[in-house]
Structure formats: structure tokens, C-alpha cells
Amino acid sequence: MTIEKQQDRLGAQNLTVAYGANTVLPDMTLSIPDNEVTVIIGPNACGKSTFLRSLARLVSPSGGQVVLDGKNLAKHPSREVARTLAILPQIQSTPDGIRVRDLVERGRIPYQSILRQWSRADDDAVARALEMTGLSDHAERYVQDLSGGQRQRAWIALCLAQDTGILLLDEPTTFLDIAHQIEVLELIRKLNRENGRTIAMVLHDVNLAARYADHMVALKDGQVFSSGRPEEIITEAMMVDVFDLRCKVLPDPVRNTPMIVPL
Amino acid sequence: MTGLRKTMQIGSLAIRYDRAAAIGALILLAATGALAILALSIGGYPLGFNGLVAAVSGRLEGMDSLILLDVRLPRLAAAIISGLALGAAGALFQALLRNPLATPDILGFTAGAGCGAVAVAGAGGASAWLLTGALSGGIVAAAATFLFAYKGGLSVYRLVLVGVGMSFLFSGVTDYLLSRTDLLTAADAAKWLAGSINVQGWSGIAIPAALTLLMLPLVVWLQFLLDRMRLGDDMAVALGVPVNAARWLVALTGIALTAIAVSVAGPLPFVAFISGPIAKRFVGTGSATVIPASLVGAFVTVAADIAARNLLGFVQLPTGIFTALVGAPYFLALLFLRSKSGQI
């Protein structure tokens, strides 16, 4: 099922994560294909978010390791990791009275020190990030005044300002209406297609996942159930085994990607 | 108010600052300076502004010189140091725990430091040891508060409740210690415990002053780190900020500053608590407020001390009475508003 390509930059080797007595990921070995959009799906509490967070050192493994560029993630200096991979956690706390530009500027933190708090490169990266997310005209607005989709784009812009080759997103479309979900997912695809960024994200909606993924991983009880192209992963059998949902799989009439219709 | 960040470039040094915040901080500095001049010139023995001018030009002699250089100046220095230290300590803990209620006075650290200082004084320790006693008491109180409040995580509500309990506990121990000393010492100590800036000359404050000044660069650095943690812990880790180290350093620095202040002026109530929120009004919510808060702390303490020295003629009141007069209503208002909106 899974063919391990050791040359991928980011992956987990026998990763175990436990919160106290509760083992969320018993033994996970999985790599994130370079320059592709990987989408992780699975039912609630299957460990998909924990897995993504471990890839970004927000959760420490109790066993095994996350490997980044051939080296244990925990052995990389944290600042260096922040220049290599960015993560947008699922829940963001937006400080009161912060403007879009200020938020995005915080993506440059890994490049700064107390004596060198700003540079020309920071200006350029922030301008690029605002432009890529279509927020250049909204830079001086308060984040709390933006629409849900714009706000999410502002947080993605912060990650882009980090100037990393790898971008991880934990349910970037939660709390958004369908139009804003598409807006955000189109942006994410564009970031992959235009800049070759490696992207891994967790999505709840199986149909949207199939539509935007190059590579998919289905998780069940903290273990990889299957991984591969969307058309290999989205099967009626998988939906029953992983989601306990009986459905039909049809080709999406627009993109021709697999689409589920519950029975 | 934020969003007008500018960069100041000096050689390879590049400092990022918020213009509105910088202006606010300068106003605070100027106000504290003006208040300091007032504190030096008025009192039971009025020197007036002319007296100060005479002092600066070196033409001050006799009684005037004695009053200014050996009485008022050390007392002003003590007020400034304890205010700076308490303001910074309060803002450090408020930023660390992301809650305006979480300050050393509310969480019982000042009571612990006061108890430690009394224990040392009661054991016949010299005034130089007061600081050590205050530091030990502060650390014990903080460790106990965090330990008892920790329950698979830290809820600020439980921290405040445990902190109030700790305050009572340490006050009780302090009372017991005082009951074993003679009446005169106990009366002196009681005044000190209400928050009293009653220093005799320079000898008592030289070490605390030096320590506070030495810690200022550390506080500036911690403010820089705390500003980088404002997007939450996940984001801070994601951006490579050394979150755990920063937390320990903030907590230890906050306790040390509290102990320094207590060793100088006793457990001045509410200065740590009110300085951060007032500073936020001046510099806006978009900026870290540890340094501005320390300026507010100094301002409030100097103002309270002017009132304590002058309101009743030659009777000297404890300075803490006046910081409490400002702080207690604000504390009640905050409790009321936050419990009403369910935010506590």
C-alpha cells in the first residue's frame, strides 16, 4: 500500500504519540510527498490533527521520530525549523486590535533577533505574502473586521511570510461557508502549483479533499488505513471501514475527481 | 492601536517600534519626571522649585542640602525603584498568564515576600538580608500557588483563588512572627507591611537599586519575547520562539522584581496589578507593555508617596494606603465586569 520514498523531506518513522495513558498514534510511518498537496482524512479523534501537529513539533513524540531533511526534527534548532516548515494550527487566537500587516509581519519572527528586528528581506517577504493571498489592499485593516475567508487568508499569509518550502494546515476551512472554503482551497492549490510548495493539510470534507489532493491519506484509530491518489483512496469499502458510512462513489462532474454520495 | 510600526536603523542595529506606543511611553516618562520634581520640592520642609534649581547649580547648603540629598532623594529613589519593579513584575505575569488578574499581589507572591522579609528581620538579620528573605518568601509563595493551582493545566481562576488563600496563609505566619517580637518592632513592621517607603538614607536602597537597573535589559528582552508569544503558544512554537525557557525566565524575573520591591517598600498593594492595564491605555493594545507598565508603576508609587507624606502635615501615612485607594476599586470593577461577561 504505502511505498516509502526515503528522499521525501518530511515524514514520520515509527512515530508514537500518547497523552498520558491515551495513545493517539501507536506506530505511524508515513512520508509527505515533496511538491504535492497531501490531504489527510479520517473520522473525529482518529489522530489526524495530532499527526500534523507532530510534524511541526507542536506535539512531542513519546516514541519514534519525525524526520525533516534526513534528520530527527527534535534535533533541529527550532528557529531553523520555522524557516523550513510553517504550520497553521486549527485554532488561532487573534489579538485585539491587530492589523493584517502586523499579523503577517509576525511570520518573519524566525529571521529576527532583538538587535535585528527588521530588514529589507522582511519587507519583501511580507509584501509577497500579502500579494499572493490577495490582501495587499487590506493590509491596514483590522483582522477582526475581515470576512472569515479573508481572515483565514491573512493567517495563511503569515505562514507564507515565513518563506518555507513546506506548509502544513490543520483544517483550514473550519467555520467557513462553502464559498470561502473554496476560496481558501484554491489559494492553497495555487501556492503548490505556482511555487512548488509541499503542502499537507487535514480536511473534514471528503469531497473537497478528493478534489484538491494530489495525494491522500486515510487514518483510522491512529493508523494509516490507506494512502495514494484520491481515486485509489476514495472507495466505498474505505468509507465503510474508516467512516462507518455507506455511500456511492461517483466521478465529480466538474473535475472528474471521486465524489461520495451517502446512501 | 497598532499598525504604524517603523524601523529605527543604527548601523547593523534595527529596532522595530510602534509609533503610538513610543509616544505614549515618552509621555509616561515625562509625567514621572515631572512628578519626581514635585516630590523633591514639597514636604514638611518646603524646598520649592527654587531650592531644586539651587541644588542643581551647587548652591545648596545646610539644612536644605541635608533634606534634599539625604532625605528626599533616597526616598524618591526608593519609590521609583519599588514602583518600577512592581509595575514590570505585574505586566510580566499578566502577559505570561494572559490575564489581568494574574499579578504578584493578587496571587500572594508579595505576601510571601513580605513574610520572608519579616522572618529574616525577626531573626535579627541585617537589612541587607531583607532582600534574601523577601526573595525566598516570594519563591516559596509562587511555587506553592502554582503547585496547588495546577490540575492538568493552569486555570487563572483557580490560580487567583489559591493565591488569595496563600495571601491569608502568609499574612497569618507574618502575624505569628510579629507576635513574638517586642511591641515597638511589631508596630514598625506593621507599618512596613502596609507598604511604607520610609528609608533612612542611601544604605538601604543601594543594592536593590543596582539590581533593578541590572535587570532592566533582561526585562526589555523578555518584553520582546512575550510580544512574540501573543499569537498563542502553538504559533509561538511554530515560529521558533523558545516558549518554555521564556516562561521560566519571565516567572523568575517577575518574582525577583517583586522581592526587590518588597524589600524596599514592603508589599505595596495593587501597584503590580494596575500598572499593566494603565500602560495599555497609553501605548495601545498592539504592543508589549512591560517597560511602559514599569513607568506607570513608578508614577503611581511616587504619587502615592507624595500623598502619604503631605496630606496630614507631619504625620507620615503608609504609602500603601494610597496605592490601595486607587487599586482596590479597579480590582473590584474588573472582577465585577469579568464575572458578568463570564471571562473569569
Determine, yes or no, domain membership for A217. Answer: yes
Confirm or reject contact between A138 and chain B (CB < 8 A): no
Sheet of A22-32: strand order equals A22-32, A10-19, A63-68, A71-72
Buried b / exposed e along B68-80 (16+ C-beta atoms within 10 A): beebbbbbbbbbb
Structural domains in chain B plus CATH codes: 24-340 (1.10.3470.10)
**Beta strands A198-202 and A37-41, pairing class:** parallel
Cross-chain residue pair A115–B12, CB shorter than 8 Å? yes
ipTM (interface predicted TM): 0.93
Q: How many CA atoms lie within 13 A of B254 on its CB side?
A: 34
Residues of A whose CB is below 8 A from B2: 97-99, 102
CB-CB contact of A183 with A213 (8 Å): no
Q: Within this chain, do residues A194 and A80 fall inside the same structural domain, yes or no?
A: yes
d(CA A83, CA A181): 27
DSSP labels for B80-103? HHHHHHHHHHHHHHHHHHT-TT--
Task: Extract the C-alpha cell encoding A191.
Answer: 501556492
Tell which residue, A59, A134, A65, A76, has the closest CA to residue A104. Answer: A134
Distance (Å) from the alpha carbon of A162 to chain B's nearest alpha carbon: 8
Tell which residue, B308, B324, B305, has the closest CA to residue B316. Answer: B308
| Grid cell 528557529 in the structure block, residue | A79
DSSP labels for A11-51? EEEEEEEEETTEEEEEEEEEEE-TTSEEEEE-STTSSHHHH
Q: Within this chain, do residues A57 and A176 fall inside the same structural domain, yes or no?
A: yes
DSSP 8-state symbol, A234: -
Cβ neighbours of B211 (radius 10 Å)? 17
d(CA B223, CA B254): 12
pLDDT (0 to 100) of residue B128? 67
Give the pLDDT band (50/70/90) at residue B285.
Answer: low
DSSP 8-state symbol, A143: G
Q: B290: part of which helix (H) or strand (E)?
A: helix B290-310
DSSP 8-state symbol, A94: P
Q: Within this chain, do residues A40 and A133 fall inside the same structural domain, yes or no?
A: no
Please give the radius of gyration of chain A, using alpha carbons only, rounded to the nearest integer. 19
d(CA B276, CA A19): 36
Tell which residue, A165, A161, A185, has the closest CA to residue A33. Answer: A165
CB-CB contact of A152 with A180 (8 Å): yes
Q: Within this chain, do residues A147 and A174 fall inside the same structural domain, yes or no?
A: no
Confirm or reject contact between A28 and chain B (CB < 8 A): no
Determine, yes or no, domain membership for A90. Answer: no
Percent above pLDDT 70 for chain B: 95
Residues of B whose CB is below 8 A from A93: 231-232, 235
| Grid cell 525566565 in the structure block, residue | B249
Residues of B whose CB is below 8 A from A81: 240
Cross-chain residue pair B238–A102, CB shorter than 8 Å? no
Cross-chain residue pair B230–A95, CB shorter than 8 Å? yes
* Nearest CB to B239; choose among A101, A109, A116: A109
Which residues of B touch chain A, with CB atoms under 8 Å apart?
A: 1-3, 5, 7, 12-16, 220-221, 224, 228, 230-232, 234-235, 237-242, 284-286
Domain harbouring A190, CATH code: 3.40.50.300
| Surface-to-core class of residue A179, CB atoms within 10 Å of its CB (0-12 exposed, 13-18 middle, 19+ buried) | exposed
d(CA B127, CA B189): 13
Size of interface A-B (CB pairs under 8 A): 89
Determine, yes or no, domain membership for A65. Answer: yes
**Beta strands A85-88 and A71-72, pairing class:** unpaired
Backbone angles phi, psi at A44, to 5 degrees: -55, 145
Determine, yes or no, domain membership for A153. Answer: yes
Determine, yes or no, domain membership for A110. Answer: yes
Tell which residue, A51, A64, A56, has the closest CA to residue A84. Answer: A56
Distance of CA B12 to the CA centre of its chain: 34
Q: Within this chain, do residues A67 and A111 fall inside the same structural domain, yes or no?
A: no
DSSP-assigned beta bridge partners for residue A218: A41, A226
Q: Tell whether the model's pLDDT for residue B313 goes beyond 80.
A: no
Q: Within this chain, do residues A52 and A180 fall inside the same structural domain, yes or no?
A: yes
CB-CB contact of B234 with A50 (8 Å): no
Q: Within this chain, do residues A73 and A148 fall inside the same structural domain, yes or no?
A: no
Give the pLDDT band (50/70/90) at residue B69.
Answer: confident
pLDDT tens readout for residues B171-205: 999 999 988 888 888 888 888 888 888 777 888 88
Least confident span in A253-257, B193-197, B243-247, B313-317:
B313-317
Confirm or reject contact between A144 and chain B (CB < 8 A): no
Distance (Å) from the alpha carbon of A56 to chain B's nearest alpha carbon: 7
Of A119, A137, A163, the residue at which a domain comes to its end is A163
CB-CB contact of A152 with A176 (8 Å): yes
* Nearest CB to A99; choose among B2, B15, B221: B2
DSSP labels for B293-343? HHHHHHHHHHHHHHHHHHTTTTPPPPHHHHHHHHHHHHHHHHHHHHHHTT-
Q: Within this chain, do residues A18 and A45 fall inside the same structural domain, yes or no?
A: yes
Cross-chain residue pair A92–B7, CB shorter than 8 Å? no
| Grid cell 523568575 in the structure block, residue | B252
Average pLDDT by stretches of 10, chain A with 263 residues:
66 94 94 97 95 96 96 96 97 86 96 92 96 95 93 96 97 92 95 95 96 97 96 96 96 93 94
Helical pair B109-122 and B156-179, crossing angle rounded to 10 deg: 20
Confirm or reject contact between A44 and chain B (CB < 8 A): no
Q: Within this chain, do residues A147 and A192 fall inside the same structural domain, yes or no?
A: no
Confirm or reject contact between A86 and chain B (CB < 8 A): yes
Determine, yes or no, domain membership for A43. Answer: yes
Of A163, A189, A220, the residue at which a domain comes to its end is A163
Q: Within this chain, do residues A174 and A222 fall inside the same structural domain, yes or no?
A: yes
pLDDT (0 to 100) of residue B126? 65
The CA-atom distances, in angstroms, between B300 and each of B58, B211, B216, B294, B329 are 30, 21, 19, 10, 15
pLDDT tens readout for residues B323-342: 999 888 888 888 788 777 66
Cross-chain residue pair A97–B234, CB shorter than 8 Å? no
d(CA A188, CA A208): 12
Nearest CA in chain A to B15: A117
Distance (Å) from the alpha carbon of B238 to chain A's nearest alpha carbon: 6
Average pLDDT over residues B15-36: 90
Cross-chain residue pair B238–A58, CB shorter than 8 Å? yes
Determine, yes or no, domain membership for A201. Answer: yes
Q: Read off the amino acid at residue B293.
A: A
Number of domains in chain A: 2
Backbone angles phi, psi at B180, to 5 degrees: -95, -5
Q: Read off the amino acid at residue A125.
A: A
The helix, strand and coil proportions of chain A, stated in percent and rounded to the nearest 5, come to 35, 30, 35
Domain that holds residue A68: 1-84+166-235
Q: Within this chain, do residues A2 and A79 fall inside the same structural domain, yes or no?
A: yes
| Surface-to-core class of residue B29, CB atoms within 10 Å of its CB (0-12 exposed, 13-18 middle, 19+ buried) | middle
Cross-chain residue pair A102–B286, CB shorter than 8 Å? yes
Residues of A whose CB is below 8 A from B220: 114
Q: Within this chain, do residues A109 and A200 fall inside the same structural domain, yes or no?
A: no
CB-CB contact of A101 with A130 (8 Å): yes
Of A103, A138, A163, the residue at which a domain comes to its end is A163
Q: Tell whether the model's pLDDT for residue B1 goes beyond 50.
A: no
Tell which residue, B108, B98, B90, B101, has the closest CA to residue B254. Answer: B90
| Surface-to-core class of residue B296, CB atoms within 10 Å of its CB (0-12 exposed, 13-18 middle, 19+ buried) | buried
Cross-chain residue pair B221–A57, CB shorter than 8 Å? no
Q: Tell whether the model's pLDDT for residue B240 goes beyond 80.
A: yes
Determine, yes or no, domain membership for A145. Answer: yes
* Nearest CB to B3; choose among A99, A106, A118: A99
